[in-house]
Structure 1
Amino acid sequence: MSGVLKALLKREKQLHHFTELIDRFLHNFDEERDSRQLNEELKEVAGKDPTVKEEAVQAREDSNFQVMHQFYDRFCNLKAELIELQAGTAHLLSGSDNHQAAGPVSRVKLPDIRLPSFSGKIREWVTVRDTFRSLIDNNNQLTDVDKFTYLRSSLSGDALQEVSSLELSADNYSVAWKALVRRYENKKLIMKAHLDALFSLETLKKESYDGINQLIGEFDKNLQMLEKIGENTAGWSTLLAYMLCSRLDSATLHLWETHHGSTEVPPYDKVIEFLRNHCSVLQSISTSRPSVPDHRPTKTSFCHTTARLPGRCPFCSESWHTAFHCMKFQRMKVPERSEAVNKNMLCRNCLSSGHYARSCDKGVCHHCRQKHHSMLRINQHCLMSKEFSTKLKFDELSSFLAVQGIGSARSLSTKSVQAEVSPRLSDISHFAEQMQFHVLPKLTIALPTANIDPHQWILPESTLMADPQFHKTGPVDVIIGAEYYMDLLKEGQLKATSEGPTLQNTVFGWIVSGRVPNTSSCRLSSVTHACSTADIQDQLTRFWELETCRTRSTHSLEKSACEDHFEKTTVRDSKGRFVVTLPKKECVINQLGESKEIAVRRFAGLEKRFAANPQLKQLYTEFISEYQNLGHMVEVVNETSSGIEYYLPHHAVLKPDSTTTKLRVVFDASCKTSTGVSLNDALMVGPVVQDDLLDHSTISIASVRDSGRRRKDVSHGECYSR
């Protein structure tokens, strides 16, 4: 280890030790005892150089810059706390020096005024700006270094990133403050943010003091901020009254209409005055109403939830707005959107909370008619023509994609390429994005279908077109997927003529879309038709290959044994019916005990139901007769048997409202015998062969025993189910 590195490490260790001492001093600070020592500590801090940490990290070559930034932020926060304490104890020091002349000094400590934290949310900028200017920027007792320290300690998120590259120095304070003002001092965006907050307020569900009071507070706060930035809201009375009334619950709205009692449009001030008085009434009722103790037993429940602030967008945490209006959600790629929806436990169909897609009644995707939101539609791929890929000599990779277009026309892509997409000139924008393109033989016909004369259009001279030859017919080489759409648009839109088309500004330059006025006497039309020419025999062959069960098994040993048992023992009788034997566990089947007693006891209970309900008895008799006539069971002639016997209890389920089967008989193969083993316990569990259906993993072909006859399933072999 070199001598320079040893010296750096020693200074780094001393700096860490000093930081711990300052932290301990602040933690144990007593105003009366430590006020004079505070100035000495500040002098010590001012003499320390926190960049020693950065030099030590670079010298060690460990690249742990996160630790370095964390230490730097901690050092700045400690210094800011010392400066705050100094400002708060200045009256004690001056009072102590002039005690004899000035008389007694108050020892009451005023509460600290903490700077509001600013993370970059545009709605908070005006409040943060005015507070910081009043407490810090206009304070002549603070140096620019101290002001910069305060500024950094009050920033977080995007706002902190704006000034994080500037070193802590007196000269950089003004640079940092101007950078924040330049980015966030945007009257249009500030006004839009407060208007969005007003328009996104939710309608109250029921009459309550808290709900109405919060609604009034939101209107007052946002209107005051709009007036503060110079917006004249005096002429908005009618609009504000309508917005406020439309967000009231039905009970409060009924009271207001009764109170107003006029056909004239009410002014906003009158609505607010009524709601304030109504709030006072609700508050008086809630405080005077005695609380009734709840003697019901408490229930403990557990659930997994995702914390989300009420009235906030789940994606950007701003005031509530729909996903269509959330810029952060729109900038996400489709997989990122899906992950954000799952993380916030939202419905994938309507992007709301409180339910899931399977129970959502808000419609389906308007693209594919599936039950998911159109913004979560995954198949929004980028496409490229084969000719264009060959011309640019892209490396093509194997990739399968079936593309379905208008009229269910299908195309198949077996290759894909990776390409960086950027504008034709760097003067247009610095956009550059790596995209995956699926290669198709042809994308579409040449567009436009005929040359267009744009000389009559109104185009600004400074307009840079994405395609300077847009008015000439030419091939379409690439199609960029919709998942990139919002990233490509920029502010700016104008009409070329009163009848169209529309020019839209993008990262590639201006593009043209819409209707073009017809200046020619001839009409051009084109039709693109695509169809599948696959041979019907090939399609049938592929269908049966997919449907066959003879694929390599990936099941467990028990499921594989059950599958083998089915293939070896299943036969068809003379009538064409399948005869299936039960897949028994040989080591368990012999453990079946006595089961007749419980089966007879349950049947006795069933007979009592027959006595009370003749209709039930008639339907049951018809069912048993049909069961026997179909050959599903046979009568046991010889009661003694050397094989294994299992008596199946059963009961009748009556559904008078059913249009098909009003009665069905349920056989209980899970009923335990005297040994604690049931028939289901002695049967192997087979694999699930159909998805999204009920799992009938245990198939019980059961027979019953009524008042004088015993019946046996012929397909059970040596296991007699009675």
Structure 2
Amino acid sequence: MSTGAERKLRGLKNRRRSILSSFACITEFTDNYQEKSDAMELPVRLDNLAALWTEFNSVQAELETLEDTDEAMDAYLSDRTEFEKRYYRTKDILMQFNNVSSRQQHMQNPQRESPSQMSCIKLPDVKLPVFNGQFESWLNFHDSFDSLVHSSTNLSTIQKFYYLRTSLAGEALKVIQTIPITSDQYAVAWKMLVDHFSNPRRLKRIYVQSLFEFSTIRRENASELHSLVEKFETNVRVLKQLGEHTEYWDVLLIHLLSTRLDPVSRRDWEEYAETLENVTFDEIVQFLQRRVNVLQSVVYQPAEVQQFNVKKNCIQRSGNIRTFQNAARECTACSG
């Protein structure tokens, strides 16, 4: 077996070990289940169990394709059969617990459930951001996840951990993939993620570099101009948030932004800038925002105005044709 295949095999075995570790936590939960303290975790445990089942089958299938001996294949098939038995047995226990808990909750409050009870039964209808490990997306993900999930007082710790796992992909998921999904491990997983991606020096370098990489607009376009100004200004705000004194970067920022403008907009900006004593970055942003508004108002015309203009053009063209024909007849008469 080649070195690459060996490395892949070792990685798959590590993933399977992580799956089995998380599965063992769920079976331990069923063994030590206490209705009063654990009932609220049942829906999340069931969802996580289903996710582990899917992931196990995927990893196991890859492992089986890499083995070329009958002995190894028999061992993998035996592992698959054993895991399947344990999965169905554990799922049955969790569903029984959940059914009993749901009936008791309904009996205690048959007409209406409080918001806290509802949050234990189903996941909130919130579109959570997905973070795949790109550093330039980290701050947006961190702030969104922190406000929607991490700082929420209506979610249990295990629910927060479930949301965290389902909100990660790619390199970001690999950071915490080996951590078992348990209540006491959520804080560990969140801290590992924050420590890994909250790297101010690297984030600053990425956002500074992006200021130099905006594409130049080829011709006047309200949409493209609005997008450029919005994204450029956002990068500057993020750098300020990271501790950079961007209020002293006026000359650099104005140069970088103005050189990305279309020729007409840049000419108009340079003419406007000549009228100012001290040109600041805020001045060019405000100028371009006003220009976007003007371009949008020029492009947009109500249907009635457009129809009027079409009719007006048609009348003008027909009038010109008749004038030309009359002139032609007069010239013929003059010529005798």
TM-score by length of 2: 0.56
Match status 1:248 vs 2:264 = no
SS in 2 for 1:61: helix
CA distance in 1, matches of 2:41, 2:153: 18
Decide whether aligned partners of structure 1 residues 154 and 45 sit closer, same or farther in structure 2, where only a CA change above 3 A counts. Answer: closer
Q: 1:238, 1:265 within 8 Å by CA — same for their partners in 2?
A: no
Name the counterpart of 1:96.
112
CA distance in 2, matches of 1:231, 1:171: 37
Specify the code of the residue in structure 1 equivalent to 2:269.
W
Name the counterpart of 1:143.
156
Match status 1:261 vs 2:274 = yes
Decide whether aligned partners of structure 1 residues 222 and 263 sit closer, same or farther in structure 2, where only a CA change above 3 A counts. Answer: closer
Q: 2:41, 2:159 within 8 Å by CA — same for their partners in 1?
A: no
Specify the code of the residue in structure 1 equivalent to 2:190.
W
Q: 2:132, 2:171 within 8 Å by CA — same for their partners in 1?
A: yes
Decide whether aligned partners of structure 1 residues 152 and 288 sit closer, same or farther in structure 2, where only a CA change above 3 A counts. Answer: same
With 224-233 and 112-121 compared, the bigger mean Cα shift is at 224-233
- Residue 170 of structure 2, aligned match among 152, 157, 171: 157
1:227, distance to aligned residue in structure 2 (A):
2.0
**Superposed, which structure 2 residues align to 1:266-305 within 5 Å?**
266-288=279-301, 290=306
Decide whether aligned partners of structure 1 residues 60 and 209 sit closer, same or farther in structure 2, where only a CA change above 3 A counts. Answer: same
1:222, distance to aligned residue in structure 2 (A):
0.8
1:210, distance to aligned residue in structure 2 (A):
1.0
- Residue 249 of structure 2, aligned match among 230, 236, 256: 236
Q: Larger strand proportion, structure 1 or 2?
A: 1
Match status 1:61 vs 2:60 = no
- Which blocks of at least 5 consecutive residues in structure 1 are unaligned? 1-38, 76-92, 99-110, 294-722
Deviations along 1:176-210, one digit per CA (max 9) or x if unpaired, are 11111121010011111111111100111111101
Q: 2:41, 2:158 within 8 Å by CA — same for their partners in 1?
A: no
1:276, distance to aligned residue in structure 2 (A):
0.8
Name the counterpart of 2:198.
185
Name the counterpart of 1:43.
42
Q: 2:44, 2:162 within 8 Å by CA — same for their partners in 1?
A: no
1:264, distance to aligned residue in structure 2 (A):
4.9
Name the counterpart of 1:172.
185
Match status 1:208 vs 2:234 = no
1:141, distance to aligned residue in structure 2 (A):
2.9
CA distance in 2, matches of 1:228, 1:46: 38
Deviations along 1:96-155, one digit per CA (max 9) or x if unpaired, are 379xxxxxxxxxxxx943221100011111121122222211223322211110000000
SS in 2 for 1:161: helix
CA distance in 1, matches of 2:48, 2:113: 33
Name the counterpart of 2:320.
none
Specify the code of the residue in structure 2 equivalent to 1:137.
H
SS in 1 for 2:295: helix
SS in 2 for 1:225: helix
How many residues get paired?
A: 219
Specify the code of the residue in structure 2 equivalent to 1:96.
R
Name the counterpart of 1:134.
147
Deviations along 1:272-292, one digit per CA (max 9) or x if unpaired, are 111111111100011128499
**Superposed, which structure 2 residues align to 1:471-620 within 5 Å?**
none
Q: Larger helix proportion, structure 1 or 2?
A: 2
Decide whether aligned partners of structure 1 residues 211 and 48 sit closer, same or farther in structure 2, where only a CA change above 3 A counts. Answer: closer
SS in 2 for 1:167: coil
TM-score by length of 1: 0.27
Q: 1:203, 1:247 within 8 Å by CA — same for their partners in 2?
A: yes
SS in 2 for 1:288: coil
1:221, distance to aligned residue in structure 2 (A):
1.2
1:263, distance to aligned residue in structure 2 (A):
7.9
CA distance in 2, matches of 1:123, 1:94: 48
Q: 2:44, 2:159 within 8 Å by CA — same for their partners in 1?
A: no
SS in 2 for 1:230: coil
CA distance in 2, matches of 1:279, 1:144: 46
Q: Rg larger in 1 or in 2?
A: 1
CA distance in 2, matches of 1:221, 1:277: 18
CA distance in 1, matches of 2:250, 2:133: 31
Q: CA RMSD in A?
A: 3.8
Q: 2:211, 2:232 within 8 Å by CA — same for their partners in 1?
A: yes
SS in 2 for 1:215: helix
Q: 1:208, 1:282 within 8 Å by CA — same for their partners in 2?
A: yes
Q: 2:48, 2:162 within 8 Å by CA — same for their partners in 1?
A: no
Specify the code of the residue in structure 1 equivalent to 2:42.
K
Decide whether aligned partners of structure 1 residues 95 and 259 sit closer, same or farther in structure 2, where only a CA change above 3 A counts. Answer: farther
Name the counterpart of 2:14.
none
Deviations along 1:3-36, one digit per CA (max 9) or x if unpaired, are xxxxxxxxxxxxxxxxxxxxxxxxxxxxxxxxxx
Name the counterpart of 2:10.
none
Specify the code of the residue in structure 2 equivalent to 1:287.
Y
**Superposed, which structure 2 residues align to 1:372-451 within 5 Å?**
none
Decide whether aligned partners of structure 1 residues 166 and 245 sit closer, same or farther in structure 2, where only a CA change above 3 A counts. Answer: same
CA distance in 1, matches of 2:162, 2:244: 33
Deviations along 1:46-77, one digit per CA (max 9) or x if unpaired, are 3788367859x699614999xx9xxx9xx9xx
Q: 1:198, 1:218 within 8 Å by CA — same for their partners in 2?
A: no
Specify the code of the residue in structure 2 equivalent to 1:243.
L
* Identity score, percent: 28
Q: 1:118, 1:128 within 8 Å by CA — same for their partners in 2?
A: yes
Deviations along 1:375-407, one digit per CA (max 9) or x if unpaired, are xxxxxxxxxxxxxxxxxxxxxxxxxxxxxxxxx
CA distance in 2, matches of 1:48, 1:132: 20
Specify the code of the residue in structure 2 equivalent to 1:61.
Y
